[in-house]
A = this chain, B = another copy of it.
Amino acid sequence: MLGRRGFDAEVSPTDGHPIVLAHADGANRKRDLLFYNHYDVQPPEPLELWESPPFDLTQRDGAVFARGSKDDKGEFVARLASLDALAKAGGGYPCRLTWLAEGEEEVGSPHLPEWVEKHRHDLAVDGAIWEEGGIDAQGHPLITLGVRGLLYVELRVQTISRDAHSGQANLLPNAVWRLVWALASLKGVDERINISGFYDAVRHPSPVERDLLAKLPSQEENIKKEYGIDRLLLDRRGIDVVAATFDPTCNIAGIGGGYQGPGSKTVIPSRATCKVDFRLVPEQDPYDIETKLRRHLDKEGFEDVEIDVLGAERPGLTKPDADLVHWMAETGEAVYGKQAMITPLSGGTTPTFLFTEHGVPVVAPGVGWGNFNRAHSPNEFMRLQDFENAIRHLARLTVRFAEG
């Protein structure tokens, strides 16, 4: 698709899924804008909750439904369409364009950092348009300046060589109990993470960031309605809802062990596993947190709980006063007719740190209806109206960027 649009596109191997790097010339050769996307998606499970097949794009109620319709194929396709519009209207692109598309974003981009370091000379851009973002429930374009880091681990315990009859539960150690106790030692119902030193590097929002947060609508009611609940976690309200991204998390993404079928089976499970993701805030470092997690488990007597790191990314931050931020707000307001909302730190994770740490401003205009597109969930969707607006926004932004 990029080759057909005049890009010099190359599929570059990694030890994981290959990375696509593409360049195209444009009218202003002194300005280079990078687009980042990813071609992988989250697993579609649980399949039974999909109203149409996850990999069969289905249109209904003014929207299209499929895994990736928002995150991130929908965003990628919107960008292609905006370039088509620019080429048709102007006879070419307004500036140099660089495209970076990876296939491991959803698993923490394990091979991207090394690859980016090797290709720094091809990535000397003046600004980057990342994925993620969107518009809020009231139709304001959202601009995201920062993302959280991530440490994703699988914890594993094996206590005995095989499952045993539960009549021996007084004698044999149960792997699920070991895991439950280890997890309960990490965080209690107060949501405070009890790993020693976990909060040491946390930087709280600056005055400028707090001003931006104060301008954001809280989203409290929308989120409650969307998930069918009466109150948010810890009863967060108002600014505490949008400011919550400045608090790191310890989330159990999945757990399994023993008999999970229908009815009863009386066994002592020999093995148990769980997946835990920590969303990290500036200036936390995932490898530092991994070290502290290991130390915590050992100290609490859980030397038998093994840690396997499945993903590690640092947080990435762009300064609110960067030109690119201003241009994105200005063009977004022109398209949507509503004031742009600038989010200093998004709840999610994507490896913008690879650019922000080298002084390249990175913003995410996003496509679609903010956090309400069911990204990562069954029935992920993209409203067609949002898709069209995103195309317009991206085209205007690219033109503005080329003017410098």
Contact = CB atoms under 8 A, between A and B. Distances in A.
A310 B349 CA distance: 42
A375 to B, nearest CB: 6
A279 B189 contact: no
Interface string A263-303: 11111110011110101000000000000000000000100
Contacts of A206: none
A233 to B, nearest CB: 5
A318 interface: no
Contacts of A180: 180, 183-184, 252, 255
Nearest to A183: B180
Contacts of A277: 166, 169, 264, 266
A251 B169 contact: yes
A172 B229 contact: yes
Contact of A260 (B49, B172, B255): B255
Interface in A150-184: 150, 152, 154, 159-174, 176-177, 180-181, 183-184
A371 to B, nearest CB: 7
Given A108-B264, A176-B252, A376 B161 contact: no
Interface residues of A, number: 89
A247 interface: yes
Contacts of A254: 176, 257-260, 265, 267, 269
Which of A108, A169, A229, A349 has the most B CB atoms < 10 Å from its CB?
A169
Given A255-B257, A275-B265, A161 B228 contact: yes
Given A167-B349, A253-B269, A255-B258, A232 B275 contact: no
Contacts of A172: 223, 227, 229, 232-233
Interface in A22-40: none
A244 interface: yes
A171 B233 contact: yes
Given A160-B227, A162-B377, A301-B189, A371 B168 contact: yes
A301 B188 CA distance: 13
A107 B263 contact: yes
A348 B167 contact: yes
A234 to B, nearest CB: 8
A349 B108 CA distance: 47
18 contacts: A43-B261, A160-B227, A161-B226, A162-B374, A163-B378, A164-B377, A166-B249, A167-B245, A169-B277, A171-B232, A172-B229, A172-B232, A180-B183, A251-B266, A252-B258, A255-B269, A264-B275, A264-B310
Interface of A: 42-43, 45-46, 49, 106-108, 148, 150, 152, 154, 159-174, 176-177, 180-181, 183-184, 187-189, 191, 223, 226-229, 232-233, 236, 241, 244-245, 247, 249-261, 263-269, 272-275, 277, 279, 301, 310-311, 346-349, 371, 374-378
